[in-house]
């Protein structure tokens, strides 16, 4: 094996976003592009030299080629051992599980999460630190600074190794172990949940579910755990084969992109429970018969019922939610007498709170829920949590949710996404909102009086770091609010997300259509921000 020192030049666009570096596949296929970023990780993370690295991805297009490149670079940079998922597969939560279980020095995850795949789709890479979570800003900034000055990278001249068969290989002095991607994760789930109770639920003859893996990474995990271990009938997992282009679909588990699953919970003889996960396995959607559970409500319901589940029977110490997520979890925290933290969007902000044992459960409105079992959001974990509750409570999903609303009140909630808009126009919209913040308090819009208006800033209670400009919040005296935020997960143009929330305590008003309840806030949002005028959009592209 020979080590080559390849001359290169910096690329100006390698600053990681909230979930790593995401670009179109064709960008990553440029000479030196992936290599520069990987070398920058190795250069800024000295603990990896002689240590252990976890490596895997969601199976999307370019995943295999990237893994071979990273393996060759790992050997050239003195990484002692690499644990790589068989076939290049490791869901994001499973990668976090493996990092933590084997106490490795970190991991590289290849994924663009819920973004489309294929030759014309998206690709991504992110580094997770030794706690199993996404690298904090101080680490991603160090990696970015290195990408701006890099002039060479190290790589071996090997042809690569067979990653389709479990076993141990060597690249120079580096040991490469191809591991079963499901085994360690399944063992962890067995520790957290009552598998016997869920098995009985599936074998009662009175319960049917469908899990839509969306031709993404969770297919093998769901088949093994749901069908083989828990005894769900064959065919419970649909679209279970991971494909490089996700079968031509968009692996985002929401009411729009998972319409096949939504149809199975409606109409003649619907299934009792529907669930889906996304491209890399860290998101989830929960459905009952003709009933959709918002991610915000799901977090609150899991927190309120955590004591019923083996892994959380000793209680939870706190909850965290991202700022745009509805305040439903706050009401549960108040009732339990525990803290509820409001953080910026991005799972890395939960990491310090989890490591400091200030929280047990956390979640985001963008279909992400998780706990202290790993340091990533975890789609299949959330599904198993719901299955455990269904097995214990012996009630339909809709009944569980409505009972929760009766006790805590209902937070009507929706998100409007304006996708692929002109980036400059979107940034100008946000800037104009910032300029108007001081003038908004006290103003009245459609009978609602503005209580506060700010640009959310977060001071981490553990390390004192400050994250500013995290989204515009406009709160009204009746408890409703509007949030405006530019997303950092897309690869082209910009996505403006508008979050709308209204609280209703009266149980007689808990079955109204969300669109009806929130329509006034939609009009206020357009009036305040000038969405139609500035972006030229009459309506949102996706409403969830």
Domains in the chain with CATH codes: 3-180 (3.40.120.10), 185-408 (3.40.120.10), 410-543 (3.30.310.50)
pLDDT tens digits, one per residue of 270-311: 999 999 999 999 999 999 999 999 999 999 999 999 999 999
Distance CA(332)–CA(385), nearest Å, equals: 17
User: Hey, what are 211's tokens?
Assistant: 């899990």
**What residues are labeled active site?**
113
Distances (CA, A) of 523 to 135, 529, 531: 38, 10, 10
Distance CA(499)–CA(519), nearest Å, equals: 12
Q: What is the structure's pLDDT at 538? A: 87
User: Which DSSP category does 314 fall into?
Assistant: T
pLDDT tens digits, one per residue of 479-522: 999 999 998 555 567 899 999 999 999 999 999 999 999 999 99
Strand order in the sheet with 448-455: 444-445, 448-455, 472-476, 481-486, 494-504, 410-421, 542-543
Three-class secondary structure assignment of 250-302:
CCCCCCCCCHHHHHHCCCCCCCCEEEEECCCCCCEEEEECCEEECHHHHHHHH
Across 68-100, b (16+ Cβ under 10 Å) vs e yields bebbbbbbbbbbbbbbbbbbbbbbbbbbbbbbb
Contacts of 118 (CB under 8 A, 6+ apart): 25, 60, 61, 244, 245, 246, 248
Q: What is the structure's pLDDT at 462? A: 94
Work out whether strand 494-504 and strand 542-543 pair parallel, antiparallel, or are unpaired.
unpaired
- Whose CA is closest to 244, among 64, 379, 114, 56? 64
User: Hey, what are 379's tokens?
Assistant: 């789609």
Q: What is the structure's pLDDT at 488? A: 59
pLDDT tens digits, one per residue of 88-101: 999 999 999 999 99
Q: What is the structure's pLDDT at 346? A: 85
Q: Is 496 left (phi over 0), alpha (psi -120 to 50) or beta?
A: beta
Residues in the chain: 544
Strand order in the sheet with 361-364: 339-343, 318-322, 361-364, 368-371
Strand order in the sheet with 122-128: 21-24, 122-128, 107-110, 52-57, 81-89, 174-179, 167-171
Give the chain's residues under pLDDT 50. Answer: none
Q: What is the structure's pLDDT at 492? A: 62
């Amino acid at each position: 094996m020979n080590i080559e020192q390849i001359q290169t030049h910096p690329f100006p666009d390698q600053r990681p976003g909230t979930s790593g570096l995401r670009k179109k596949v064709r960008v990553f296929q440029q000479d030196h592009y992936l290599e520069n970023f990987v070398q920058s990780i190795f250069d800024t993370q000295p603990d990896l030299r002689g240590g252990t690295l976890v490596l895997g991805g969601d199976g999307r297009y370019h995943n295999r080629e990237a893994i071979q490149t990273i393996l060759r670079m790992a050997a050239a940079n003195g990484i002692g051992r690499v644990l790589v998922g068989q076939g290049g597969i490791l869901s994001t939560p499973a990668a976090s599980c493996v990092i933590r279980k084997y106490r490795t020095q970190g991991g590289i995850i290849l994924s663009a999460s819920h973004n489309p795949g294929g030759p014309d789709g998206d690709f991504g890479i992110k580094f997770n630190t030794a706690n199993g979570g996404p690298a904090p800003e101080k680490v991603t900034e160090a990696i970015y600074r290195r990408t701006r000055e890099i002039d060479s990278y190290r790589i071996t001249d090997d042809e690569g190794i067979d990653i389709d068969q479990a076993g141990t290989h060597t690249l120079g002095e580096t040991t490469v172990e191809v591991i079963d991607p499901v085994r360690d994760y399944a063992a962890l789930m067995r520790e957290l949940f009552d598998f016997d109770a869920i098995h009985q639920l599936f074998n009662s003859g009175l319960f049917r579910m469908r899990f839509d893996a969306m031709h993404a990474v969770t297919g093998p995990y769901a088949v093994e755990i749901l069908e083989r271990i828990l005894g769900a009938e064959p065919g419970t997992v649909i679209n279970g084969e991971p494909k490089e282009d996700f079968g031509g679909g968009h692996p985002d588990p929401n009411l729009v992109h998972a319409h096949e699953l939504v149809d199975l919970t409606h109409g003649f003889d619907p299934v009792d429970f529907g669930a889906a996960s996304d491209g890399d396995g860290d998101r989830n959607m929960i459905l009952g018969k003709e009933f959709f559970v918002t991610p915000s409500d799901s977090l609150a319901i899991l927190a309120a019922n955590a004591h019923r589940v083996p892994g959380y029977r000793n209680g939870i110490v706190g909850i965290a939610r991202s700022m745009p997520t509805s305040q439903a979890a706050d009401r549960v925290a108040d009732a339990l007498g525990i803290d509820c933290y409001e953080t910026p969007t991005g799972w890395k902000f939960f990491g310090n709170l989890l490591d400091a044992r200030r929280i047990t459960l956390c979640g985001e409105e963008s279909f992400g829920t998780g706990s202290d079992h790993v340091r990533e959001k975890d789609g299949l974990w959330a599904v198993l949590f719901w299955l455990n509750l269904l097995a214990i409570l012996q009630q339909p999903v809709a009944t569980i949710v409505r009972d929760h609303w009766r006790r805590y009140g209902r937070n009507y909630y929706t998100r409007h996404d304006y996708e692929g808009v002109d980036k400059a126009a979107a940034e100008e919209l946000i800037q104009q909102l910032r300029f108007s913040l001081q003038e908004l308090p006290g103003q009245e819009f459609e009978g609602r009086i503005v209580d506060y208006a700010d640009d959310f800033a977060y001071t981490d209670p553990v390390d004192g770091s400050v994250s500013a400009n995290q989204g515009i919040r406009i709160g009204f005296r009746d408890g409703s609010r509007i949030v405006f935020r530019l997303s950092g997960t897309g690869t082209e143009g910009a996505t403006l997300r508008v979050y709308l929330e209204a609280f209703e305590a009266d149980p007689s008003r808990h079955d109204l259509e969300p669109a009806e309840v929130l329509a006034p806030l939609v009009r206020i949002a357009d009036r305040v921000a000038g969405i139609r005028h500035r972006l030229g959009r009459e309506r949102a592209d996706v409403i969830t």
